[in-house]
Structure formats: C-alpha cells, structure tokens
Amino acid sequence: MRVPMALQGVSVVELAGLAPGPFCGMVLADFGAQVVRVDRPGTRGDLSRMARGKRSLAVDLKQPRGAAVLRSLCARADVVLESFRPGVMEKLQLSPEILQRENPKLIYARLSGFGQSGRFSRVAGHDINYLALSGVLSRIGRSGEAPYAPLNLLADFGGGGLMCALGILMALFERTRSGKGQVVDANMVEGTAYLGSFLWKTQQTGLWGQPRGQNMLDGGAPFYATYRTADGGFMAVGALEPQFYELLLRALIADPRKKLIWAISVTMIGVVLFDFAADFIDGPIKAYLFDVCTHRDKERGLHYHALFTGLGGALGYLLGAIDWAHLELGRLLGTEFQVMFFFSSSVLTLCFIIHLFSIPEAPLRDVAKDIPPQQAPQELALSSDRMYEYGSIENVKNGYVHPELALQGEKNKNPAEQVKMQLLFYYLRKNILVLAFCSDI
C-alpha cells in the first residue's frame, strides 16, 4: 500500500530561474506537490537540472496574453514561487496584491539575494557575495589563508532555496488555521546568517574564541580535520568525543605492549650482533698487539682497546633505552618501528666502527735491525707461561725481559698468573672512569 506524501494535492507554480528557485520547487515536488514550471519562450529547459517531478510550459510574461495565462494558473494554485529581482513582477502586473486578490489562499513566495527592501535589494549578486554579507564567510578557511566559499551550497541552496521551502511549508500550515495566504520573503543573505546562528550564539563559550582556522571545528584541532592519504586522496577525521578519540588512537597507534616487546627484541638483537662482531675481531686485534707491537705499544694498545670496547658495549646495551625514548618521537617523524630500526642500526654501526678503530696505530718493529750482525736469531720453543712472561716471540728473540719479572727473579713460582692479575687490576683502574661515563649515559 502506497502511503500518501505530505504535500500531495498541493499545486505549485514555479517561475523559471537560477539554481535556488528550481531547488526549492524540486524539494516541494519530492514531497508530493504538483509543480508546474513556467519557462521563457526559446529556453532549453531547466539548466539547473532540477526539474525532477515537474511539468513545464513556455509563457511570455511580457505579453498581456502570457500574463493572463499565469494569473489563470495562480487562481487555482496553492503556491507561486518567483526568484526575480524586486520590482519585476510589479511591472508585469503580477504582484502579490493582484494575484492574492483573485486567490486569497495563495501563498506568494519571493526568493532573492538581498530581500525586497533595502539599499542592496536591486543589486545583483552571487552566492559568495551573499555569504560575505551574512558574515559566515569570515569564519570559513584555514589559518593564515584567505576565506573561501564552500562551493555555492551555503547561500544559494542552504540559506536560499531550502529556507524558502521551509517558509512555504510554514505558510501552508498557518493557512490551515486562518484560511488565508501570505507573502514569504526569503533572501539568501538573511537565510545564510540564520543558518550561522550557532556561530554567533556560541561566541562567548570559547568554541570560536581563536582566529579563523584555529578553533576546534574549523581545522584547528587535529582530531577534526582532513589529512592526505598515501594514495593521493584525503581522509576526514571527526573524533570530538573522548571515546571516539580513544578509538582513533587505537586505530593509528600500535598496542603499547607490542611496542615494548619490539623494543626489547631490537635491543637483544643489537647486543648479540655487537658482541658477535666484537668477538670476531677481538682475536686478530690482540694477536697484533702481542706479536707485533713493542711492550709499551702493546700496553697502550690494550688500554685503548679496552676503553673503546667498553664504550661500544655500553652503547650497545643502551639500544633499548634509545628505542624507547624515540617511540614518542616516532609519532611525529613517521612509522615508529622504522624510527626504532633506524636508531638501532645507527648505534650498532657506530659501535662496530669504534671497535674497528680501536686498533692502535703502532709502528711495526724492524726485527732485522735489532739483531746484532754476529748473532743469528734462534727459534725458541716456549711454553704459554714463558711466552706470556716475555710478551711475544719477538721480544724473546731480541733478549727483552719484562722489568718487573727481572726484579722478582726466581721468587715467583708462577710469574704468568701474577702478570695476569697485575694487568687485570691495572686495566680495571684505567677503565673505571669509562664505566662511570657509560653508566651516566
């Protein structure tokens, strides 16, 4: 069963005009009204493409016969809608007084830019002009940029056509009680200002306290704005309420527990990689120090080697702290995991380079120059303890003896162990400042 529409049985005569008038007639037709559009002779129909549900005929209103045809239509109509400039219908002898004299129940709707009276009433204009005079245009636009009109929707269709349709409906409702028609004077400047009542009524609430583009609803809030997407389009975000804002954050930001697990995982991987790199090159470095360098160069080399190795190790173990500190920075720079990986890789690379450059630049000894001409080098088979006692095979060949061992003589039954302990305490004393520095980091 088809339900009757609200305006079924209401007849409307619409005088063809630009977009706001045809839109108003289309709204009435969409709700059941019988709309007849009166076109000028020679026109190609409704250029606004808003003739849905309407019938049409061509009438030359400048001719007496044409004006008589319109009066005949209005005598049986409920509503007549015109969107000419003020005074045009009066010249055609089709004013509200004349038509309502013949049909007292006629509702005469007049839609214009500036109204039927006032100094701007006979001035031509467009949507952007009506929008500017209404004051609403001053509130639309980005901060620091010129105001811009939202197409021609706000003044033409919102403040004009739709407000005029609302006035016609209220006049029809009032006629059910009084039995008389009336004149509806709808203009786009006042209609747009009326739509902007919320802007002016909330001025003292702080909602619009900032300049244009810096308030919560005009682009000043990150949770009520538009953003460009990776595919070149745009995404509108409107999360005003706290519960919706929380949902937005959950959708955009990873679970904090997952971030913690990721940071710990990256830290452990970084430490393992650094330790592997350090162990891989530690053997060649010490072999170089013991077998090539002199005792003094070896001592200095071991010192710097321990210093840079400790510094690099401390930086490696700080990867987790660096990752976690840059989680918040990741929200500003981009994907958080990418930022974490970047800083982790950077610190690992730095540690590896420091470890490589910890090899001392000690000159190689020319063994041939240190051997007297009358003596021939003899290959000595030394135990591990004796080799450690003299420092290297080259030192043994050159007749070099560790000075501290020479003073102690045969009193030490295990000189190698004693030398190890002395070196251990020596390097601990040397590196205590390095460890303190790393702990501060």
Q: Which residues are catalytic?
A: 126, 156
Structure tokens at 111: 């839609």
CA–CA distances in Å: residue 160 to residues 34, 187, 396, 441: 21, 6, 106, 68
Query: 148 exposed, middle or buried (CB, 10 Å; 0-12, 13-18, 19+)?
Result: exposed
Across the beta sheet with 183-187, the strand order is 54-58, 34-39, 11-15, 79-82, 107-112, 183-187
Cα angle 276-282-288, degrees, rounded to a multiple of 5: 155
- CA-nearest of 424, 367, 373, 359 to 395 is 367
Decide the pairing of beta strands 79-82 and 107-112.
parallel
Distance CA 180, CA 123 (A): 32
Q: What is the DSSP string of 244-271?
A: HHHHHHHHHS--HHHHHHHHHHHHHHHH
Rounded distance between C-alpha atoms, residue 182 and residue 174, angstroms: 9
Residue among 50, 72, 65, 299 at smallest CA distance from 162: 50
Contact 271, 320 (CB under 8 A): no
Q: Please answer whether residues 166 and 194 qualify as being in contact, where contact means their C-beta atoms are separated by less than 8 angstroms.
A: no
Is the separation of the CB atoms in 78 and 13 below 8 Å? no
Residue 138 DSSP label = G
The phi, psi pair for 128, rounded to 5°, reads -65, -30
Alpha helices in 392-414 (DSSP H): 393-397, 403-408
> Residues 6 or more apart from 269 whose CB is under 8 A from it?
344
